[in-house]
């Protein structure tokens, strides 16, 4: 299979229909692959029925499709069992699930360790738990490049740390987290580890066994699948100890006037009608991803990221955020004093370049880096040199237009 950026781009209907578009906002939402769209359409036109409750053929077909989707996600993550896969509406819902359900096992004075680099989805739920239940929050700081500063990790954990919840990759700086160091320290402290993989899954299959974490969360729309679906992977023994997050149909064994008994995981955490067609579409996207040569894709993404950084570095007054040396995800954020990111994005949009401007749901990180807002370009497997050049030309135009 050809894996040039051009051949990959043709597999994404929106991009194939708009060859003039330079889409550089995949960190927010990646484009959906044709296989995912086809799978959703096929399911909705041949097997649309609710799951886990029907005994007619259509419902049984829906059950099989939904179960097969769970198996696909388990393979993508190298999970021990498909029963460790919980479907949610997205990474935000998955992180909130852990904050509520695992959080219900915590006591006042127990500590959860976060980092300053977290997306609000892995920050706000823990603040809410602190205010509701009296847990303690501690924060891993970042250095000047936005990398997590792990110099004082044991002290930050303290004696009552029960969970470390961190991003695998920053959605602002592209900095990768040293997961191995965090897991090693957490194991010594007897703490669990939650990894927000929302920005990592776009760049290839993940291995939760090798990562050695206890929870892993991601969204379908970040990895070429539909919106409205996400995944929480959790170790079976940890999920078994957690109470449900939502109550309703599908997550029970029996309901009486006096009490309710819960189903086993993952059904315990999937109250109501789940995102069935979206899960089927996500599975198709992940199955396609597992056929790709990710070493070659990573080399191309790294090369484009370096070209972008080199080009932006030549613009007077522009400040690049994040590490400029070493390996980083192809996410490049920058600040241009005197020019608001929203204005920059609107000017570039007129030239068919799609960027994102704002605080990127990471206000504590931007505050630590000394900015309020910034502009972000993110590169995916369907981008090429023409996209990078269009961005650089557009910024030159924006500097003249907005000066």
DSSP SS3 for 393: helix
Q: How much is the average pLDDT of 327-344?
A: 95
Instruction: Say which CATH architecture domain 37-289 belongs to.
Output: 3-Layer(aba) Sandwich (3.40)
CA distances from 180 to 130, 232, 390 (A): 27, 20, 38
Residue 381 has pLDDT above 70, yes or no: yes
Conformation bin of residue 90: beta by default, left when phi > 0, alpha when psi is -120 to 50: left
**DSSP assignment of 274-321, as one string?**
--HHHHHHHHHHHHHHTTS-HHHHHHHHHHHHHHHHHHHHTSTT-EEE
Check residue 80 and give its pLDDT.
Answer: 97
Q: Where are the domains of the chain?
A: 5-24+293-402, 37-289
Check residue 234 and give its pLDDT.
Answer: 98
Instruction: Say which CATH architecture domain 5-24+293-402 belongs to.
Output: Alpha-Beta Complex (3.90)
Confidence of residue 399 (pLDDT cuts 50, 70, 90): confident
% pLDDT > 90, the chain: 95
Phi/psi for 85 (5° steps) reads: -100, 120
Among the residue ranges 92-106, 176-190, 312-326, the one predicted with the least confidence is: 312-326
Q: How much is the average pLDDT of 83-90?
A: 98
Mean pLDDT estimate for the chain = 96
The active-site residue out of 305, 361, 374, 399 is 361
Give burial (CB, 10 Å; 0-12/13-18/19+) of 177: buried
Check residue 402 and give its pLDDT.
Answer: 83
Count CA within 13 A, CB hemisphere, residue 211: 28
Among the residue ranges 57-66, 322-331, 345-354, 364-373, the one predicted with the least confidence is: 322-331
Check residue 3 and give its pLDDT.
Answer: 83
% pLDDT > 70, the chain: 100
361 is catalytic: yes
Check residue 327 and give its pLDDT.
Answer: 84
List pLDDT tens digits, range 23-65.
Answer: 999 999 999 999 999 999 999 999 999 998 889 999 999 999 9
Q: How much is the average pLDDT of 82-102?
A: 98
Tell me the pTM.
0.97
CA dist., res. 231 & res. 241, Å (int):
19
List pLDDT tens digits, range 140-175.
Answer: 999 999 999 999 999 999 999 999 999 999 999 999
61: which residues sit within 8 A by CB, 6+ positions away? 46, 47, 49
Q: How much is the average pLDDT of 96-119?
A: 98
CA dist., res. 358 & res. 85, Å (int):
33
* Contact (Cβ atoms closer than 8 angstroms) between residue 51 and residue 207: no
Strands 353-354 and 22-23, by their bridges, are parallel
Check residue 2 and give its pLDDT.
Answer: 58
């Amino acid at each position: 299979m050809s894996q040039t950026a051009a051949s990959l781009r043709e597999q994404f209907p929106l991009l194939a229909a708009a060859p003039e578009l330079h889409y550089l906002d995949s960190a927010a939402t990646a484009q959906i692959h044709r296989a995912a769209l086809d799978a959703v359409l096929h399911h909705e036109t041949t097997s649309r029925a609710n799951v886990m409750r029907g005994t007619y053929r259509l419902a049984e077909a829906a059950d099989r499709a939904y179960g097969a989707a769970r198996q696909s996600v388990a393979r993508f993550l190298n999970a021990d069992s498909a029963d460790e896969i919980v479907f949610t509406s997205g990474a935000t819902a998955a992180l909130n699930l852990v904050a509520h359900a695992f959080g219900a096992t915590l006591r006042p004075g127990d500590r959860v360790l976060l980092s300053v680099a977290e997306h609000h989805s892995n920050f706000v739920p823990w603040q809410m738990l602190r205010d509701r239940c009296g847990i303690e929050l501690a924060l891993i700081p970042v250095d000047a490049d936005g990398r997590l500063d792990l110099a004082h990790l044991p002290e930050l954990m303290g004696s009552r740390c029960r969970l470390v919840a961190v991003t695998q990759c920053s959605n602002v700086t592209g900095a990768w987290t040293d997961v191995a160091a965090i897991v090693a320290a957490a194991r010594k402290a007897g703490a669990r580890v939650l990894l927000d993989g929302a920005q990592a899954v776009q760049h290839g299959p993940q291995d939760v066994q090798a990562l050695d974490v206890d929870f892993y969360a991601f969204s379908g729309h970040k990895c070429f699948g539909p919106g409205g679906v996400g995944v929480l992977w959790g170790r079976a023994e940890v999920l078994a100890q957690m109470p449900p997050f939502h109550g309703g149909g599908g997550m029970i064994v029996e309901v009486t006037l006096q009490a309710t008994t819960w189903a086993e995981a993952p059904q315990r955490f999937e109250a109501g009608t789940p995102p069935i067609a979206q899960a089927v579409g996500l599975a198709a996207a992940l199955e396609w991803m597992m056929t790709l040569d990710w070493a070659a894709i990573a080399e191309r993404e790294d090369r484009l990221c370096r070209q972008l950084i080199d080009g932006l570095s030549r613009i007077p007054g522009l400040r690049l955020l994040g590490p400029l040396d070493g390996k980083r995800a192809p996410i490049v954020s920058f600040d241009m004093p005197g020019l608001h990111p929203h204005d920059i994005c609107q000017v570039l949009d007129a030239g068919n370049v799609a960027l994102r401007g704002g605080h990127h749901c990471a206000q504590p990180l931007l505050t630590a880096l000394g900015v309020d807002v910034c502009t972000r370009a993110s590169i995916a497997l369907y981008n090429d040199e023409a996209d990078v050049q269009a961005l650089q030309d557009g910024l030159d135009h924006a500097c003249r237009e907005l000066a």
